Chain A
Amino acid sequence: MDTPLIEFKNVTKRFNGKTILDKVDMAIYANQVTTIIGKSGTGKSVLLKHIAGLLTPEEGEIFLNGRPLGEMKKNGEWDGYRKNISYMFQGNALFDSMTVFDNVALPLRQTTRLKKKEITEKVMMRIDQTELSEVVGKYPAELSGGMQKRVALARALVTDPDIVLFDEPTTGQDLVRRNVILSMIAHYKKKLGFTAVLISHDIPDVLFISDRIILLWEGKVAFQGNYEDALQLKHPMIDEFLQSLEGFRDELTGLLSKQMFTSRYAMTFGADQEGIAGTAILFSVNFNLLVESLGHQAAVDVVKTLGEHINEYMGAIGGFSTRQRTGQIITILPHISVEDAQQTIGDLAKKLQEKALPSIESVIQARTKIDTCIEIYVSAGITEARISDDIEKILDNARSAQQIIAQYRCAREEFE
């Protein structure tokens, strides 16, 4: 693997004699979304504050691209490091006596030599991207919790940082808003190319956007790696933690949680040791295009509606599904052949076009109040699922077989 962007080696931190971080070793890689999970009081925020330079370790060292932070000169490298970091606080930390515009403009006004016009342009660009144009002159107290989060996000991104630290960005949000914020983080991470480090309790939602997970347990790193590795690693600590946080269902779509899906998959195919055990279908929507054209809220609405319909339709014939990524859903149809599954997909596609997609348009238009042309594409890839295949292989096969099964453009329905 590459050299980590940020690496903790034996980092220990104590407050009033109490050890909060206990010889923490962990790595954060560039251009990834790394999520730090763990129960309350396990030192997640403390860990994040060490990365931001708000706290310094009592023992151990933190490295940036292999260079110890402690050896960096204050006005040279250290300043350069801090310049490239943004921090989105759990409570937003917005200045309540400043308007939305002034809050977002503050770091540019204070730390750059940009002219007033350039600052206004940059700030308005971020404000537009975070869908805050209508509240630009309002004060934080006049905004909803979700809007305040977006202001904090806009402020964190206005300086074009390389590393953005998010301290529980979705806490206290309803499930749709939670997914909207996470979708925004994933979207801007992809668009602006920063490295994101998140703290979140919102499992499974946060896992859809995470490349890497770090589990903190009583001040120590219990696991670091991707989610699939975490599930395979049979560690009582991880089981206990995931079961305590991840419910049976994905709240947004009503589909199974990833962990339940994996358990169900193993259970269903465990008895059928040979031959084809069933069919896997990978559904996708044009999520990024929807985000670009209609915003994050509308894109999450589409995933929500699609998930609900897939759950209803596939569940009725014995299938079980889970959200794979933000805009991807995988369904397993046990003991159903590919040919039968294709017939089923045809029926579902018809149902999607006749019922689901038109209903999405009315929901989006009611929410956005924009009379714009909505384009939604639903793709599906069908593949055989054998007991010998792991989920990743099945996903790869399904992904390569994907084609558009239903599409919707404005009020005109088409069917393939």
Chain B
Amino acid sequence: MARSIYLNLLFFFNFIGKYTMDIINHLGAAIIFFSLGFVRIFRAKQWHEIVKQVYYIGATSTSIVVVVGLFTGMVLGLQLYYTLIKFGSEGVVGAAISLSIIRELGPVLAAIMITARAGSAMTAEIGIQRISEQIDALYTMRIDPVKYLISPRIAAAIISFPILTAFFDLVGIIGGWLTAVLLLGVNEGAYFYRAMSSLAMVDIQGGFIKSIVFAVIVSTICCYQGYFTHLRTDSHGSKSVSVSTTSAVVLSCVTILISDYVVTTFLM
């Protein structure tokens, strides 16, 4: 009996220890991976690839970000109106919408949307390039794969995330105006006055800092998962690409939410 408990405890601590070491290893590798990618952004012949990636990550994600931003603002307008009216404070609905979108919902939801759309594609594309030996081919052609594949994506994410977040914020506030003012009859002047007067520069800055942090997290996780898809032990070949893509999206979303809390703590 005692021996069985001892063995179970041993197994438990062994599992925890191995899991923790794996996490630390991957975390360290991802930090090095990001550092290598970031440094190579400033090398020659990167401009063209960065512009291409900004188009792909940024421009083509605009529609989804706008749609999600609009409906997020609209539903916030509804929820906040019916909550605030209980306290006779429906006049501050503009302030509540703008603050919650610019400080939290804008950066977080925009990042999650870009992860779903562009981040998954990043992992899948790089993963396929890895398993079809295209990355090895780059190496044999003396083209640095990190410089050619990773750096432009990191740079494009850092450029695109704040811009898309700004779009999300703007459209979200307009969405709130649609429901609060046009649908539920809140005074238009009060809506915009409250929205603007409650906002400080520090709120906008905080939102943008978050979006840059999320850009770094999403691009690093998605590129890392794709780049090292061949090292997976749980799957091989095309299956490993699909598993890496799923892992990249899930990990990015979870890390966005965790880091959102951490960054907010520092900003408050």
Contact = CB atoms under 8 A, between A and B. Distances in A.
B132 A82 contact: no
B148 A89 contact: no
B132 to A, nearest CB: 6
B140 A85 contact: yes
Interface string A154-177: 010001000000000000000000
Contacts of A54: 136, 139-140
Interface stretch (A106-114, A190-198, A274-282): A106-114
A154 to B, nearest CB: 13
Contact of A87 (B134, B140, B148): B140
A90 B132 CA distance: 10
B136 A95 contact: no
Interface in B133-147: 133-134, 136-137, 139-143
Nearest to B147: A110
Interface in B115-157: 125, 129, 132-134, 136-137, 139-143, 148
Nearest to A167: B133
Contact of B141 (A49, A79, A90, A111): A111
A119 B132 CA distance: 26
A240 B23 CA distance: 50
B136 A106 contact: no
Given A87-B137, A89-B137, A107 B142 contact: yes
Interface in B85-139: 125, 129, 132-134, 136-137, 139
Interface in A81-117: 82-83, 85-87, 89-91, 93-95, 97, 106-107, 109-111
Nearest to B144: A110
A203 interface: no
B142 A83 contact: yes
A106 B143 contact: yes
A248 B133 CA distance: 36
Contacts of B137: 87, 89, 93
Nearest to A109: B45
A52 B140 contact: yes
Contact of B45 (A53, A86, A110): A110
Given A110-B45, A110-B148, A91 B143 contact: no
A95 B138 CA distance: 10
A54 B137 CA distance: 10
A54 B45 CA distance: 24
Contacts of A93: 132-134, 136-137
Interface residues of B, number: 14
A106 B137 CA distance: 11
B133 A89 contact: yes
Contacts of B136: 49, 54, 87, 89, 93
B69 to A, nearest CB: 30
A106 B141 contact: yes
Interface in B54-74: none
A332 B139 CA distance: 50
Contacts of B134: 93-95
Contacts of A53: 139-140
A73 to B, nearest CB: 15
B106 to A, nearest CB: 32
A189 B168 CA distance: 58
Contacts of A91: 132-133
B133 A82 contact: no
A79 B142 contact: yes
A126 to B, nearest CB: 14
Interface string B33-69: 0000000000001000000000000000000000000
A107 B136 CA distance: 13
Of the candidates B137, B139, B142, B143, the one having the most CB atoms from chain A within 10 angstroms of its own CB is B137
Nearest to B137: A93
Interface string A192-232: 00000000000000000000000000000000000000000
Contacts of A111: 141-143
Of the candidates A53, A93, A107, the one having the most CB atoms from chain B within 10 angstroms of its own CB is A93
Nearest to B129: A95
Contacts of A83: 142
Nearest to B134: A93
Of the candidates A107, A110, A159, the one having the most CB atoms from chain B within 10 angstroms of its own CB is A110
B246 to A, nearest CB: 22
Contacts of B129: 95
A262 B125 CA distance: 52
Contacts of B139: 53-54
Contacts of B142: 79, 82-83, 107, 110-111
A155 B137 CA distance: 10
A107 B141 contact: yes
Nearest to B141: A107
A159 B143 CA distance: 13
A86 B132 contact: no
B84 to A, nearest CB: 50
Contacts of B125: 97
B31 to A, nearest CB: 23
B152 to A, nearest CB: 12
Of the candidates B136, B142, B143, the one having the most CB atoms from chain A within 10 angstroms of its own CB is B142
Contacts of B143: 106-107, 110-111
B5 to A, nearest CB: 34
Interface string B161-194: 0000000000000000000000000000000000
A159 B136 CA distance: 17
A314 to B, nearest CB: 45
Which A-B residue pairs are the 8 nearest by beta carbons? A93-B137, A87-B140, A107-B141, A93-B133, A110-B143, A89-B133, A111-B142, A93-B134
25 contacts: A52-B140, A53-B140, A54-B136, A82-B140, A83-B142, A85-B140, A86-B140, A87-B137, A89-B136, A91-B133, A93-B132, A93-B134, A93-B136, A93-B137, A95-B134, A97-B125, A106-B143, A107-B141, A107-B143, A109-B45, A110-B142, A111-B141, A111-B142, A111-B143, A159-B141
Given A86-B140, A87-B137, A155-B141, 20 more contacts: A49-B136, A53-B140, A79-B142, A82-B140, A82-B142, A83-B142, A89-B136, A90-B133, A91-B133, A93-B132, A95-B129, A95-B134, A106-B143, A107-B141, A107-B142, A109-B45, A110-B141, A110-B142, A111-B142, A159-B141
